[in-house]
Chains A and B, each alone.
Chain A
């Protein structure tokens, strides 16, 4: 039994950690580049699910066209509502910015609930392969594995972009010193725009990947936002390296508590450990004014 539990912890720490990474990547990006604690981030999850559903059922689009159009809507929403509508106007007035971001999130959640309550039966048919398989003694669903691998894949693309491309270099420079970046000729507005657009990609992919084993409901944004915040805070706000480490650490805590104690305490345990880290290591695991 002990061997089975240890194997389970390892497998699920990897799987859940990779999924948490996918959930939190966009949040970390905005924290790192725009230096904003984006309380409206949960909107992305709701829009991804309900946007796809609405396009499929109201416009009778197929799954793939609906997903494509939903991505366009997501990016437009992030740029027009959040960036142009709130961030650009209130960048220096943080309390207004946070309040408005949160209000937008709540408004979209309520709109989703009003338009498609739970009784509407919203679901996103994105199962790639149904069924389960075994790794050693541990059974795992294919869809969870795909979600985990997607999390790793998307993270690698982001890391590669930050390390190997000119755009990534500029974003890193901006995350370290915005004024110096301006003086060096970086088009800060354009990069902010790009960062906002990029930030919606991981959570959108995340919803599509986890929908077959996660619940799709109008209130789904709040727990996912909480996970993103927890990962980012533990990792060090806006630090991608920190987010990666924190995701797997929280995955490990959740899996350990679930298999060795009781699953309902996994959220509490992760919060306590984050709190302890913040007390003894101010700013999280990777504190620092840089995204990488």
Chain B
């Protein structure tokens, strides 16, 4: 080989080495793409989108993940499943996101999970469902881990937790705070209440029996239709059955009408505990014209510093991102921080299998406690890790305020009976 030829070979080799190292550097600095899908006409998705953007902005200001910035790609499903499937494909195949966050009802997450499973081999990625309630997501993981291991659920509504954790805790609250012995159970006729009504095989008996095991007698039990507007007869019967507390396992029915009619019934002096929904949101006071005074509700929208993140999260979301914290915004925000820590522990996001293992073991400070996921089932770690306080609507001047009455370590008020509060 003469000198001229060998010079050419060296130049070509140098060119390729340089090109490859530049590419690797570009890859090392390329943004980590996160897809967000939601129904951007719905308040809960808009709030979740704001929370996701806030998390991404904060992380970028702090140097990103392992030196790489984050890029949030937002898509509007318009609440339509075919659209959601199409957008999921686009995010994973075209945009090549590392993770898809589905900030919408569980049906969308299920659709995403199915298409995600088909794409996973060729396009490895993570899917988070941050609003969808129920057991479908983690049941997929439980029943076929290899196929659905990329799916994680960050929401409180998991029946196992309801029956094993919240049932006994509710019984404790009813007995210790409200002095109750007899409870009236009111469910809404939806899929998520079915395990509570019927029990979960090999996991727990129905809620009625959980209460019985914890020293409460269920004296009345009924199920309400989601389109029902008249509840007077239910409350009159509850009062006639001499219940001490009303446990309303509802979140989607017309809670405005429910609360108004409770307040104008014979059962108005019985504490009404509502599991979630409108009653746990700040507008409930206005919507019910203050008739929610005394109502107990599980709510994440309280200004009590559960961690150092709680108050800044609420203030910044409203102040900078112009959306109110609604159910699902906390979980979306916390999910991304959990993802960040897992990615850092895994040494980046390039090895998705490693990232999945890291997500299964991660724990990070969250707005409402600690975020992390069950290693085998992929639902987020329940109470006492992730906290949904029980609040009571009490008066603050002329207005109503949600006061935390449980857990005791976060309480900023004492429980008072509805009759006492109305005095």
* Cross-chain contact A263 with B257 (CB below 8 angstroms): no
Residues of chain B within 8 A of A67, CB atoms compared: none
* Cross-chain contact A123 with B228 (CB below 8 angstroms): no
Residues of chain B within 8 A of A212, CB atoms compared: 260, 264, 289
* Cross-chain contact A259 with B227 (CB below 8 angstroms): no
Q: Is B204 an interface residue (CB 8 A)?
A: no
* Cross-chain contact A121 with B264 (CB below 8 angstroms): no
* Cross-chain contact B326 with A119 (CB below 8 angstroms): yes
Instruction: Evaluate whether A138 and B230 lie within 8 angstroms (CB atoms) in the complex, with A131-B264, A132-B265 already known.
Output: no
Chain A residues with a Cβ under 8 A of chain B = 1, 4, 8, 12, 16, 117-123, 125, 127, 130-132, 138-139, 141, 143-144, 212-217, 223, 254-255, 258-259, 262-267
Interface centre among B232, B257, B260, B278 (most CB of A within 10 A): B232
Assembly CA distance A139 to B257 (angstroms): 17
Q: Restricting to B265-286, which residues have a CB under 8 Å from any CB of A?
A: 265-266, 268, 278, 281-286
Q: Restricting to B209-260, which residues have a CB under 8 Å from any CB of A?
A: 222-225, 227-234, 236-237, 239-240, 254-257, 260
Instruction: Evaluate whether A132 and B264 lie within 8 angstroms (CB atoms) in the complex, with A4-B240, A120-B283 already known.
Output: yes
* Cross-chain contact B260 with A263 (CB below 8 angstroms): no
Assembly CA distance A234 to B265 (angstroms): 30
* Cross-chain contact A223 with B227 (CB below 8 angstroms): yes
Chain B residues with a Cβ under 8 A of chain A = 43, 189, 222-225, 227-234, 236-237, 239-240, 254-257, 260-261, 264-266, 268, 278, 281-289, 324, 326
Q: B229 is contacted by which of A131, A143, A223 (Cβ under 8 Å)?
A: A223
Residues of chain B within 8 A of A122, CB atoms compared: 286-287
* Cross-chain contact A216 with B228 (CB below 8 angstroms): no
* Cross-chain contact A264 with B225 (CB below 8 angstroms): yes
Query: With A119-B43, A121-B284, A123-B288 given, can you name 12 additional A-B contacts, CB distance below 8 Å?
Result: A119-B281, A120-B283, A121-B287, A122-B287, A132-B268, A213-B264, A214-B260, A215-B254, A215-B257, A216-B256, A254-B230, A263-B233
CB within 8 Å: A-B pair count:
103
* Cross-chain contact B285 with A121 (CB below 8 angstroms): yes
Interface centre among A119, A131, A138, A214 (most CB of B within 10 A): A119
* Cross-chain contact B266 with A263 (CB below 8 angstroms): no
CB distance from B141 to the nearest CB of A (A): 33
Assembly CA distance A139 to B266 (angstroms): 6
Assembly CA distance A119 to B329 (angstroms): 15
Residues of chain A within 8 A of B266, CB atoms compared: 132, 139
Instruction: Evaluate whether A267 and B228 lie within 8 angstroms (CB atoms) in the complex, with A139-B236, A217-B256 already known.
Output: yes
Residues of chain A within 8 A of B254, CB atoms compared: 215, 217
CB distance from B42 to the nearest CB of A (A): 9
CB distance from A266 to the nearest CB of B (A): 7
Assembly CA distance A122 to B284 (angstroms): 10
Residues of chain A within 8 A of B256, CB atoms compared: 215-217
* Cross-chain contact B287 with A264 (CB below 8 angstroms): no
